[in-house]
Amino acid sequence: MEKWLTVQELLGLETLPKSDRGITKKADRENWVKRQREGVKGKTFEYKFSSLPEDAQAEILLKQNATPVMAEAPKAKKELNYLPEVIWKPYEKATDKQKEEAKKEEKPKGIATFDEITFEDFSKIELRVGKILDCEPVHRGCHNRGLLCDRGGGCGFYRV
pLDDT tens digits, one per residue of 73-98: 566 666 766 677 777 788 788 888 88
Helix/strand/coil (H/E/C) assignment for every residue in the chain: CCCEEEHHHHCCCCCCCCCHHHHHHHHHHCCCCEEECCCCCCCCEEEEHHHCCHHHHHHHHHHHCCCCCCCCCCCCCCCCCCCHHHHCHHHHHCCHHHHHHHHHCCCCCCCCCHHHCCHHHHHCCCCCCCEEEEEEECCCCCCCEEEEEECCCCEEEEEC
Query: Which band of pLDDT confidence, cut at 50, 70 and 90, is reported for residue 139?
Result: low
What is the structure's pLDDT at 143? 66
Q: Within a 10 A sphere around the Cβ of 99, how many other Cβ atoms?
A: 12
Q: What is the pTM of this model?
A: 0.40
d(CA 57, CA 68): 9
Query: Which band of pLDDT confidence, cut at 50, 70 and 90, is reported for residue 25?
Result: very high
Decide if 143 contacts 132 (C-beta within 8 A): no
Burial 131-154 (b: 16+ CB within 10 A, else e): eeeeeeeeeeeeeeeebebeeeee
Q: Which residue has the higher pLDDT, 5 or 152?
A: 5
The CA-based angle 64-10-59, given to 5 degrees, is 40
Q: Which residue has the higher pLDDT, 12 or 156?
A: 12
What is the structure's pLDDT at 73? 58
What is the structure's pLDDT at 1? 47
Q: Average the pLDDT over 100-127 and give the result.
A: 70
Q: Average the pLDDT over 128-142 and give the result.
A: 72
What is the structure's pLDDT at 115? 61
